[in-house]
Amino acid sequence: MKFHYYPETDTLYIDLSKKVSADSIEVAPGVVLDFDADGNITDIDIDHASKIVDLTHLEVESLPINILSLTSH
């Protein structure tokens, strides 16, 4: 799973799967869920993210993480 934030568009993209998206559904204004050909969710795209979610805080609890990678641009 990867989180990508694009400040120039204030978009948060959450990549949940390496599968290719085959369908998209806007579930709320500016919030789009993408699905693979089998109907499984592949990613979440949030436009105007700073107005919808708190981007200043990320908390992880009880996830079976083997690799944690933090990058800065």
Of the two residues 72 and 56, the one the predictor is more confident about is 56
- Domain contains 64: no
Q: When comparing pLDDT for 40 and 66, which is higher? A: 40
Q: Is the residue at 26 inside a domain?
A: yes
pLDDT of residue 73: 61
Q: Is residue 66 part of a domain?
A: no
DSSP 7-52: TTTTEEEEE--SSPP-EEEEEETTEEEEE-TTS-EEEEEETTHHHH
C-alpha span between 1 and 53 (Å, rounded): 18
Residues 6+ apart with CB under 8 A from 58: 3
The residue length of the chain stands at 73
Residue 36 in any domain: the answer is yes
Q: Give the pLDDT mean for 57-64.
A: 85
**Is 70 exceeded by the pLDDT of residue 68?**
yes
Task: Dump pLDDT digits (tens) for 12-52.
Answer: 999 999 999 999 999 999 999 999 999 999 999 999 999 99
Is the residue at 58 inside a domain?
no
Residue 72 above 90 pLDDT?
Answer: no
What's the domain count of the chain? 1
Count CB-CB contacts under 10 A for residue 18.
8
Domain enclosing residue 38, as ranges = 2-52
